[in-house]
């Protein structure tokens, strides 16, 4: 068993007061709704404002946060529509990733079996599933 001397105890108490002042606590704050754990109280508060099931009024899809619902709702606005197949996306980045799949040349090659992928995440998934890497 290790005991702290008075100086170490005072330093520890001071650090805890400083951590508490900037939102860091020794016990990790949890979201009351989904029980996600945060290192800072401020992060928990921000998360809780957006946490909870949110339902799309257009199609009935349910999302775990209001932020994810808002991203999804862009699909119904058809802001980012694929010119090749007509599929809609919530963000330009998602459309760009999708458009890469329409290209005939894959730029990500598996080093084990030489299979080509147009999107890096698909290569990563392939490596984990088939080559256990």
For the chain, what are the domain ranges? 78-131
The predicted-structure confidence for 19-58, as pLDDT tens digits, reads as follows 555 555 557 888 887 888 888 888 888 888 777 778 888 8
Torsion sign across C-alpha atoms 40, 45, 47, 52: positive
Give the H or E element holding residue 53. Answer: strand 51-55
Please compute the mean of the pLDDT values over residues 12-22 and round it to a whole number.
Answer: 63
Other C-beta atoms closer than 10 Å to the C-beta of 123 total 19
Greater confidence, 54 or 124? Answer: 124
The closest alpha carbon to 41, from 26, 55, 62, 60, belongs to 26
* pTM score over 0.75: no
CATH topology of domain 78-131: Double Stranded RNA Binding Domain (3.30.160)
The predicted-structure confidence for 77-121, as pLDDT tens digits, reads as follows 878 888 888 888 878 888 888 887 777 666 788 898 988 887 788
> What does the pLDDT read at residue 116?
82
> What does the pLDDT read at residue 68?
83
Please compute the mean of the pLDDT values over residues 51-66 and round it to a whole number.
Answer: 82
Query: Tokens representing 50?
Result: 């957006």
Residue in this structure with the two tokens 């349910």, named with its chain if needed: 62
> Using CA atoms, how far apart are residues 67 and 53, in angstroms rounded to an integer?
11
> Using CA atoms, how far apart are residues 27 and 16, in angstroms rounded to an integer?
11
Residue in this structure with the two tokens 């702290």, named with its chain if needed: 4
> What does the pLDDT read at residue 16?
65
> What does the pLDDT read at residue 84?
82
Angle value at C-alpha 49, between 44 and 51, nearest 5 degrees: 80
Measured CA distances, 15 to 23, 24, 42 (Å): 12, 10, 18
């Amino acid at each position: 068993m290790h005991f702290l001397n008075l100086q170490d105890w005072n330093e520890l108490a001071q650090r805890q007061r400083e951590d508490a002042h900037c939102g860091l606590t020794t016990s990790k704050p949890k979201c009351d709704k989904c029980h996600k754990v945060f290192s800072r109280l401020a992060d928990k508060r921000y998360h809780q404002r957006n946490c909870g099931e949110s339902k799309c009024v257009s199609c009935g899809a349910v999302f775990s946060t209001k932020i994810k619902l808002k991203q999804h709702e862009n699909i119904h606005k058809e802001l980012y529509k694929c010119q090749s197949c007509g599929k809609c996306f919530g963000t330009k980045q998602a459309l760009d990733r999708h458009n890469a799949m329409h290209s005939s040349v894959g730029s990500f090659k598996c080093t084990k079996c030489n299979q080509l992928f147009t999107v890096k995440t698909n290569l990563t998934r392939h490596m984990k599933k088939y080559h256990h890497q």
